[in-house]
Structure 1
Amino acid sequence: MGDGKDPDKVLDIRTADIKRAAPDFHKGAEDLSKALTALVKSLDGLGEPWGHDKQGNEFGNAYKPLQKKIESAAGVLVLGLTSIHEAMADMADGHVDHDELVAGVFTEVKVPGKDGGTGEH
Structure 2
Amino acid sequence: MAGGSSTGGGEFVIKPWELHGEGREFEKISADFGKAVGALEQGLAALGSPWGLDKPGSGFAAVYQDAHGGVLGGLRGLAGRLGQVGSGLHTMAERTADADTAAASGFGAAAGAGRGPVRPGATPGAGKTVPKDVSA
TM-score (norm 2): 0.70
1:10 is displaced (CA, Å) by 4.2
Amino acid at match of 2:44: L
Residue correspondences, number: 112
Distance 1:49 1:5 in 2: 59
* Structure 1 or 2: more helix by fraction: 1
**Counterpart in the other structure of 2:75:** 74
Q: Who wins on radius of gyration, i.e. which is larger?
A: 1
Greater mean alpha carbon deviation, residues 36-45 or residues 95-104 = 36-45
1:17 aligns with 2:18: yes
1:87 is displaced (CA, Å) by 1.4
Does structure 1 retain, via aligned residues, the 8 Å contact 2:7–2:13? no
Kindly report the root-mean-square deviation, in angstroms, between the aligned alpha carbons of the 2 structures.
2.2
1:5 is displaced (CA, Å) by 7.4
Amino acid at match of 2:87: E
Amino acid at match of 1:93: E
1:74-121 Cα offsets, whole Å, 9 max, x none, are 1111111111111111211221111010112222326xxxxxxxx632
Amino acid at match of 1:23: R
Taking only the aligned residue pairs, the percentage that are identical comes to 25
Amino acid at match of 2:21: R
1:55-94 equivalence runs, <5 A: 55-94=56-95
1:13-39 Cα offsets, whole Å, 9 max, x none, are 111221221111111111111111111
1:2-13 equivalence runs, <5 A: 2=5, 6=8, 8-13=9-14
**Counterpart in the other structure of 1:114:** none
Distance 2:7 2:115 in 1: 44
Distance 2:68 2:85 in 1: 26
1:120 aligns with 2:115: yes
Unaligned runs of 5+ in 1: 111-118
1:67 is displaced (CA, Å) by 0.9
* Structure 1 or 2: more strand by fraction: 2
Distance 1:5 1:52 in 2: 65
SS, match of residue 12 in structure 2: coil
Distance 2:66 2:53 in 1: 16
